[in-house]
Amino acid sequence: MTIYAGTLTNHEQRHIAIVMSRFNTLITDALLAGAKEALMMHGVVETNIDVYYVPGAFEIPLVAEKVALTQKYDGIVTLGAVIRGETDHYDLVINGSMSGIAQVGLKTGVPTVFGVLTADSLEQAQHRAGGKAGNKGGEVATALLELLSVVDVI
């Protein structure tokens, strides 16, 4: 039996795109900082990280797909923050965003990770954007690097 596991080494040559939404920008800016910090901690060079801003999480898939099709990037980190309101708008935004982001990776073959927070309150989102529950931006960026090193050997 051979086991293929992702590693967090040898990522110095990677080109990474981050597609992030500005909606709830206090939160998404913190996710971005966490993602960049994690990428650079594992060797990715800052000048090889490009950030594409979109208005809201619903727009992430369209831009992520276009970015993937440029074939300039090894992988894509998506970042956003959807916070529950009074209506079912929350579910519609998150469902569209999540399924669209999943399709980008599957359709283009460019590894794409899902870093869109879903929270019941601003406070819950803050906890996950550099607060007591960590920084999900950093976590998904790290997951991308691990994923890339598995994809490399297939």
Ligand X SMILES: Nc1c(NC[C@H](O)[C@H](O)[C@H](O)CO)[nH]c(=O)[nH]c1=O
Cβ(100)–Cβ(78) below 8 Å? no
Q: Which is nearer to ligand X, 80 or 130 (CB)?
A: 80
Asked if residue 55 binds ligand X (CB under 6 A), the reply is: yes
Selection from ligand LTPLIIQW, ligand X, none that 80 binds (CB < 5 to 8 A by kind) is ligand X
Tell me the C-alpha distance between 73 and 62, whole Å. Answer: 16
14 is in an annotated binding site: no
Active-site residue identified among 11, 15, 42, 89: 89
Q: Which is nearer to ligand X, 40 or 90 (CB)?
A: 90
Tokens of 75: 């992988």
Helices (H), the chain: 25-41, 60-69, 89-108, 122-127, 136-152
User: Of the ranges 8-16, 40-48, 49-57, 120-128, which one interacts with ligand X (CB under 6 A)?
Assistant: 49-57
| 3-state class percentages of the chain: helix first, strand second, coil last, to nearest 5 | 50, 20, 30
Query: Is 89 part of the annotated catalytic residue set?
Result: yes
Instruction: Could you list the residues known to form a binding site for (2S)-2-hydroxy-3-oxobutyl phosphate, using ranges.
Output: 86-87, 128
Catalytic annotation, residues: 89
